[in-house]
Amino acid sequence: MDRTSVLPPLRAVQQRCSDCKIRHRAVCSLSGPQELAELDRIKFYRDFDPGQEIVGEGEPIDSLGSVVDGVVALHKTLEDGRRQMVGLMFASDFIGRPLRAIAPYDAIAVTKVRMCLFRRSKFEEVLSRQSSLEHRLLEMMLDELDCARDWMVLLGRKTAQERLASFLMILSRRSARLDKQPLMDGIRIEIPLTREAIAEYLGLTIETVSRQLTKLRKEGLIVMEDQRHIRIMNLARLAAITQDDPRAADEYDGNSTGNTGLIG
């Protein structure tokens, strides 16, 4: 059930957009057969190993595209090396900044990653002709913006405990949605990140992440099956800890076509 398993070799993989596994969620999900055929001609796949750089902050963006498989983290780095994660992207999420030449952040493969890529110039050219593509991209960017704003609240106002709870809730919702399971106690989630990456996500240090996790464990809210798998024993209490407004908490999964890398 792990989603970080090995990918079939590139050669063996289907090359046809029409039966791509992210077809119905990615940036191309509103494209008709004709439009898709055009994308099909200009797309290409590329695989990345964990830790490998996909885009470098401050470097020219020459290609952009969708995550087909794996997890990608977007970071920004301050002059003295402090780093903050600013995006965490999963299958079907779109990476790259159209309409800009220089990447404002770097993108690093967290797990093994397969990307479906386009040359930037080609993509922008197609984007200007295919309104369905542009419309879907807008939808996705709006979702990401909502996501970024929730993240800002987490970083600006939440305590370490609340941040961890929020993080686990986000992963839980995502996991339930992917498995088409209701969100219920006992749910088992995979954490595709090291403690360091979690710390960069939450604006904390690894030590604080670790301490808060053991605190949640000692309170019986979670069970840690191993380093990368956690079982949530009391979702209601976890949700209460996040301090999120319960009204808004679940909006984001139910949106337009339903998908952002982060929330829900």
Partner DNA sequence: CGCCTGTTTGATCTACCTCAACTGCTGTGG
Partner DNA sequence: CCACAGCAGTTGAGGTAGATCAAACAGGCG
Q: What is the length of the chain? A: 264
Give the span between the Cα atoms of 187 and 204, in whole angstroms. 25
* 248 near a copy of itself (CB under 8 A): yes
Residue 9: burial class (beta carbons within 10 Å; 0-12, 13-18, 19+): exposed
Nearer to DNA, 97 or 211 (CB): 211
Site residues for a copy of itself, 76-115, by CB under 8 A, read 76-80, 82-84, 86-87, 97-100, 102, 104-105
Quick note: the x/- pattern for a copy of itself over 54-73, rule CB under 8 A, is ---xx---------------
**Nearest approach, Cβ of residue 243 and a copy of itself (Å):** 4
Chain centroid offset of residue 101 CA:
23
* 203 near DNA (CB under 7 A): yes
DSSP-H helix ranges across the chain: 33-42, 120-129, 131-157, 160-178, 195-202, 206-218, 235-242, 246-249
Give the span between the Cα atoms of 114 and 155, in whole angstroms. 30
DSSP string, 77-129: E-TTS-EEEEEEE-TT-EES-TT-SB-SSEEEESS-EEEEEEEHHHHHHHHHH
Give the span between the Cα atoms of 57 and 106, in whole angstroms. 4
Strand partners of residue 193: none
**Nearest approach, Cβ of residue 31 and DNA (Å):** 39
Nearer to DNA, 132 or 161 (CB): 161
150 binds, among DNA, a copy of itself, none (CB under 5 to 8 A by kind): a copy of itself
**Nearest approach, Cβ of residue 86 and DNA (Å):** 17
**Nearest approach, Cβ of residue 250 and a copy of itself (Å):** 11
**Nearest approach, Cβ of residue 118 and DNA (Å):** 32
* 161 near DNA (CB under 7 A): yes
Nearer to DNA, 127 or 206 (CB): 206
The one among 14, 131, 181, 214 contacting DNA by CB under 7 A: 214
Dig out the tokens for 253 from the structure: 């999964």
211 binds, among a copy of itself, DNA, none (CB under 5 to 8 A by kind): DNA
248 binds, among DNA, a copy of itself, none (CB under 5 to 8 A by kind): a copy of itself
Binding range to DNA, per CB under 7 A, among 129-137, 191-199, 242-250, 252-260: 191-199
CB within 8 Å of 166: residues ≥ 6 apart: 154, 158, 242, 244
Closest CA to 45 of 54, 58, 32, 33: 54
Give the DSSP letter of residue 34: H
What residues line the site for DNA (CB under 7 A)? 159-161, 194-196, 203-211, 213-214, 224, 227
What residues line the site for a copy of itself (CB under 8 A)? 57-58, 74, 76-80, 82-84, 86-87, 97-100, 102, 104-105, 128, 131, 134-135, 137-139, 141-142, 144-146, 148-153, 155-158, 202-203, 243-248, 251-252, 255-256
